Structure 1
Amino acid sequence: MHLDLDAFYAAIEQRDHPEWRGRPLVVGAQPGGRGVVATCSYEARRYGVHSAMPIAQAARRLPPETIYRRPDMARYAEVSQQIMRLLQQLSPLIEQVSIDEAYLDVSGLERLIGTPQQIGERAKALIKDKTGLTASVGIGPNRLIAKLASETSKPDGLRVVEAEQVQAFLDPMPISVLRGVGTKTTPRLLAMGLKTVGDVRHQPLERLRQALGARAGTALHLQARGIADDAVQPVTQRQSISKETTFGEDVTDEQQLRETLHWAAQEVGYLARHQALAGALVTLKLRLQPFETHSRSRTLSQRTASDQLIFQTAWELFASSPWRGRPVRLIGVGLSGWEPAACPTQPDLFAASEPQPSTLTTDKLDQTLDAIRDKLGDGLIQRGVRRS
């Protein structure tokens, strides 16, 4: 089962402020400044606004009665944890892949709950009754089918795809739903006369491998037949925490890229601290035209969960990269290489110098900001990003 909370940040704001229900609401940057939309309500989406859209562009499309809110990550993370605890009442095998999205292994629950439809209804009811929020749910024989099923049932929907229904479900879909099909692969497939998943399925494997390469061609061949990974990894086995954003249009403005990366680093840092983790490996992810995906990593001298250190490291990786100046479609940052943050390491008694004050100061500031957010909420305070 794949479960995706609908317009999560915006839905929490509208739940906690009933007077905002039914009105366009944007969570992210404020009009008149720079930055992007983190998420928005479905009322705002009717005006063509979407996540990662520059706030200036969004504000031009939206009516005067629109509500604009700064993200309150502490509150959103708290609600996310509450929902994950509720889902544990259904299945102990839960893989949380983002703050508002998770996979569950629900095999074997038929005797306890009922049909897959009833299992999905139980999950949605648990969330609605306890939090007042809605979720889109997809259930299928593997992760690919479950994810596509939830995507086709948004918002507040439920779709079950049985094993014998997979091909009928996939065949009419456009090739863009397949993983790895982007601006580089799509023209090749269209030139071959392939527009739907069914078209791809009817192609010989060798032809796909010749057109796309052995690895990509094989992956597409399998996906078109509904063959994909069905393993659900519990959150305790999670290897990294990451946050990325896909822009609606390619971005070359470095200030917008800095602000987006800064926001992503704050989400990663807060989630790491919330799970009492500290990481030594910071990874920058970029997607450029024509659908080139690149990553660069740096190992830190000591593990951290500091927003600012994660951001500074990621921005240095970007600034020194050979891709600087090229249009960016996606940007993100990840943290891995874990050690429990609650278990500080013993400093070297004979070290020639003290630990860097900036790192220690940043850690204390993060803790202070977290405490203020947890106590007062409502996005009262957050870090600014220094303009360069």
Structure 2
Amino acid sequence: MRIEAGNRQQASILHADLDSFYASVEQRDDPSLRGQPVLVGGGVVVAASYEAKALGVRCPMPGHEARALAPRAVTVSPRFEAYTQASRDVFGIFHDVTPLVEGISVDEAFLDVGGLGKISGTPVSIARRLRERVRDEVGLPITVGVATSKFVAKVASAAGKPDGLLHVTAGKEIEFLHPLPVRRLWGVGAKTEQRLHDAGIDTVGQMASLGEERLSALLGRGTGRHLYSLAMAHDPRRVTTGKRRSSIGAQRALGRRVKSEADIEATLVAIVDGLGRRLRSADRLTRTIVLRLRFHDFERVTRSRTLFEPTDGTETILATARGLLDEAMPLIRERGCTLIGLSLTNLSDHSAVQLAIPFDGDDHAGELDVAIDSLRTRFGKGAVTRGVLVGRRAMPDTPMLPD
């Protein structure tokens, strides 16, 4: 469902972004970590506190490099269940503030508060109270950007970090954006930034003065048009709600130590098990399976396969995922693997798809999935375990961001 934004002549869109989310949860739950450099994850740092970032730590970064930069840092293992609960608590506050909430990830969202003036006050006062509630009720710091568009609000929250509130008033968007470095724009990665730098363009204002035509000649028509629009603060997108996810996924960091092919396959099996259950509980079907791998040099690859018929069957998804892993195994043997992830995309509602009639009367895979789901719901995730996972330490999945 598309929701029209409030008065665009007023800065009424909020971008709320939790600060160093995972690390902040750790510092909240363990007072001894407060004020200390904290690294979440050992082999690869998946999150770092601001105290660690001040010493040069970035994410992702190999653990040994991070500890060389911050030798006094405390390293903790990820606790994804705690992060998920914290996210739910914060989003509960968001939805209490306004029904117009568009979640971007587990730790950030856009909120449209344009129609709340008579009830809740100005957007800035709403943002101020939101920050206070997140700190008082959930115990976490959060930064909020307030602007007339989603793009400018997001840039404002980034500029206001950590633990701040930055308001870009209507009519002042260009004045705010143009002094900023070009990397603040969506779509400007390291390669684009270097190409712009080589052309003598370092700020958003310099990019805007180049003009759309010359920028398109430098970066390509699509990229040039996109970046020029952002540089001129053009972003007509509305805050949207009620949008069903187009994919679900999970990933697991494997660390820097060499893993056997059996270990990697077992990790994949565990991920598929969890995703299959999530898919069925949402009454969705998938048609495309995407395997994501990260190597020791931090390069990433993806492999995908689209099925003839959509499915919610664990065995079908697992067979496809294993096929993708087999195709990628030569690269893994050559370059090592530090992370494996799987996404189920091309989703559809179960009721909206007419499935083919099964001709094999002995195929009870769907019934088995339902039975296993029921047992795990009633007795816990460990009630039924695949043989390949017996004796292996269970590792939590990291949720993938929605596509």
Shift of 1:168: 0.8
Give the whole-Å Cα distance in 1 for the aligned partners of 2:95 and 2:69: 41
Instruction: Verify the 8 A CA contact 1:282 1:299 in the aligned structure 2.
Output: yes
Q: Which residue of 1 aligns with 2:193?
A: 186
Q: Which residue of 2 aligns with 1:164?
A: 171
Paired letter, 1:57: E
Instruction: Verify the 8 A CA contact 1:27 1:68 in the aligned structure 2.
Output: yes
Task: Give the structure with higher Rg (CA).
Answer: 2
Give the whole-Å Cα distance in 2 for the aligned partners of 1:186 and 1:203: 15
1:11 aligns with 2:24: yes
Q: 2:41 aligns with which of 21, 28, 31?
A: 28
Q: 1:203 aligns with which of 210, 230, 246?
A: 210
Change (3 A) 1:65 1:383: closer
Per-residue deviation, residues 221-253 of structure 1 (Å, max 9, x unmatched)? 1011011243222254332345789xxxxx999
TM-score, with normalisation over the residues of structure 1?
Answer: 0.73
Q: Secondary structure at the match of 2:205?
A: helix
Give the whole-Å Cα distance in 1 for the aligned partners of 2:167 and 2:277: 33
Q: Which residue of 1 aligns with 2:63?
A: 55
Instruction: Verify the 8 A CA contact 1:24 1:42 in the aligned structure 2.
Output: yes
Per-residue deviation, residues 90-117 of structure 1 (Å, max 9, x unmatched)? 1101111111111111222222222222
Paired letter, 2:222: R
Please, which runs of 5 or more residues in structure 1 have no aligned partner?
A: 30-34, 246-250, 373-380
Paired letter, 2:184: V
Give the whole-Å Cα distance in 2 for the aligned partners of 1:201 and 1:314: 47
Change (3 A) 1:188 1:63: closer
Per-residue deviation, residues 139-188 of structure 1 (Å, max 9, x unmatched)? 11112111111111111111111221100111011111112222332333
Give the whole-Å Cα distance in 1 for the aligned partners of 2:314 and 2:18: 26
Please, which runs of 5 or more residues in structure 2 have no aligned partner?
A: 1-13, 384-392, 398-403
Give the whole-Å Cα distance in 2 for the aligned partners of 1:235 and 1:137: 22
Q: Output aligned runs, 1:337-356, within 5 Å.
A: 337-339=347-349, 350-355=360-365
Q: Output aligned runs, 1:278-293, within 5 Å.
A: 278-280=284-286, 281-284=288-291
Paired letter, 1:121: R
Give the whole-Å Cα distance in 2 for the aligned partners of 1:74 and 1:67: 18
Q: 2:227 aligns with which of 217, 220, 224?
A: 220
Q: Secondary structure at the match of 2:119?
A: coil
Q: Which residue of 1 aligns with 2:51?
A: 43
- Cα RMSD of the aligned pairs, angstroms, is 4.6
TM-score, with normalisation over the residues of structure 2?
Answer: 0.71
Q: Which residue of 1 aligns with 2:11?
A: none
1:175 aligns with 2:198: no
Instruction: Verify the 8 A CA contact 1:298 1:313 in the aligned structure 2.
Output: no
Aligned residues: 355
Change (3 A) 1:167 1:269: farther
Q: Output aligned runs, 1:73-88, within 5 Å.
A: 73-88=80-95
Q: Secondary structure at the match of 2:171?
A: helix
Q: Which residue of 2 aligns with 1:375?
A: none
Q: Percent of counterpart pairs with the same letter?
A: 33
Paired letter, 1:382: A
